[in-house]
Amino acid sequence: MNRVRVLVATFGLAVLLVAAGLGFSMAQGGDPEAAAEIDLPDVAAPGMFDRPTPAEMRDLETLAEGRGISVQEAVDTYGWRRGFSQLAQEIAASHPDSFAGAGIEQDGSIWIAFKEAVPPGVTSLVEQFEGMLLELGASSTRIDLVPDRGFPERG
């Protein structure tokens, strides 16, 4: 008898959730395609040298709370990682036959590797990024450029 009650309650809950979903859909105009046409503001994507965006700051606040650290510590440790990703992507796009990968290790070390020698211009771009890391107060500010990896990422 208890199994029947559980099944009826579960079915009732499922019907309630479906009805609530339909009610929400109807409140939105009932047309799923209309919901896809929401007019969002044009916002420029953050650049590699930009400070964390408000959305990233909310994520960092949540991360800080979850890890039991201060928001400043979260910003110092993680707030620059989007920029590093963009730096690595730019270098990979500029030097596809030489770029061999990039990474942030568990110990905090940061590296960008190349098939052979570090291409011209990469060192100054990386130094500029490291300067931005110092301004943010990031805990890890040195990016190692690793030559002679022997193979490009693309290959």
Residue 49 included in any domain: no
Q: Per the domain annotation, does 17 fall within a domain? A: yes
Number of domains, the chain: 2
The list of the chain residues with pLDDT below 70 reads: 1-36, 137-140, 153-155
Q: Which domain holds residue 31?
A: 2-35
DSSP string, the chain: -HHHHHHHHHHHHHHHHHHHHHHHHHHTTS-HHHHTT--PPP-PPPPTTSPPPHHHHHHHHHHHHHHT--HHHHHHHHTTHHHHHHHHHHHHHH-TTTEEEEEE-TTS-EEEEESSSPPTTHHHHHHHHHHHHHHHT-S---EEEE---SS-S--
Q: Is residue 46 part of a domain?
A: no
Per residue in 17-33, pLDDT tens?
444 444 444 445 555 56
Whether residue 45 lies inside any domain: the answer is: no
Looking at the fold, whether 62 and 102 belong to one and the same domain comes out as yes
**pTM exceeds 0.75, yes or no:** no
25 and 79: one domain? no
